[in-house]
Amino acid sequence: MIYLLGGSGYVGQAYQALFRSKGIAYRNLRRADVDYTDAATLRAALLNDRPEFLINAAGYTGKPNVDACEIHKAECLLGNAVLPGVVAQACEEAQVPWGHVSSGCIYTGDGPGGLGFTELDAPNFTFRTNNCSFYSGTKGLGEEVLAGHSNHFNWRLRIPFDSVDNPRNYLTKLMRYPRLLEATNSISELDEFVAATFDCWSRRVPFGTYNVTNPGKVTTHEVVELIRRSGVCTKEFSFFSSEKEFMEKAAKTPRSNCVMDPSKLAGVGIRLTPVHEAIERDLRAWRKAA
């Protein structure tokens, strides 16, 4: 049986769908039933139920976007930096291996040589570098909190998307925003992300940090062109003239735009679909949320 934290969120719901489709027994641990933000309470639940593995998909991202984290700083800090440490403590004391959904938003840029950041590259979009959003800063702290802990995976997600119209879906966001910022990014197809991360456990690959993004990189203009070509949305997309204009007129905090290298994941035999192909496939299967 698998423990799942944060099962009601965008990523957590995808994990639940995966488990149901595979007939995997799991418990969606709700805070209303078990306060998993308290280490002793979570440890007691783990010792009682003895799950085989725990997945932490809980955290604070802000709605409708990370600008909200600049207002709700306490919640953001607790969800992204404190909670991972609580889960790590409880899991170690109960001897339950686990996986944590982290973020690639602790980087900015194309990485060394323009080839993308690897798991060995130090984060450069955090409180330590004094150039980040509060959200990215807390995600960076969360990884620092987990440094030195054993028997866990740290999975880095980047700008998730899938084939279902949803306010959390990157493709939906691009279709609904009145103006867009041109940027180059690595992104993660959500269903592939949850399948790949669970494969890390089911295949017993080495514990550690993994960039879980679709191979390659994509620009905002390229995604928009794929959307228009698919017929899902044919509106005229408008772009800001520069990042400066974006910050002046639309954003309260800087955004992470980065390229990540998922070759470590591929090296253990887990491969995602190349990014452009994954976007095209999801647009062909596009549907409204049920």
Cis-peptide into 64, omega within 30 deg: yes
Tens digit of each residue's pLDDT (9 = 90 or more) over 115-170? 999 999 999 999 999 999 999 999 999 999 999 899 999 999 999 999 999 999 99
Phi, psi (rounded to 5 degrees) for 155:
-100, 120
Distance in angstroms (rounded) separating the CA atoms of residues 79 and 65 = 15
The closest alpha carbon to 179, from 249, 128, 118, belongs to: 249
CATH number at residue 129: 3.40.50.720
Domain count, the chain: 1
Query: Could you give the dihedral angle defined by the CA atoms of residues 7, 10, 14 and 16, in that order, rounded to the nearest 10 degrees?
Result: 20
Q: What is the pTM of this model?
A: 0.96
Structure confidence at residue 288 as a pLDDT band (50, 70, 90): confident
- Residue range 72-98: average pLDDT? 97
> Cα(190)–Cα(264) distance, rounded to whole angstroms?
19
Residue 7 in contact with residue 30, Cβ under 8 Å?
yes
Average of per-residue pLDDT across 77-86: 96
Length of the chain: 290
**What is the reported pLDDT for 250?**
86
Number of Cβ within a 10 Å radius of residue 198: 21
| Range(s) of the domain holding residue 212 | 2-288
Three-class DSSP labels, 241-275: CCHHHHHHHCCCCCCCCECECCHHHHHCCCCCCCH
Checking if the pLDDT of 63 tops 90, the result is no
Tell me how far apart the alpha carbons of residues 153 and 268 are, in angstroms, rounded to a whole number.
Answer: 13
What mean pLDDT value characterizes the chain? Answer: 96
- Which phi and psi (to 5°) does residue 164 adopt? -115, 125
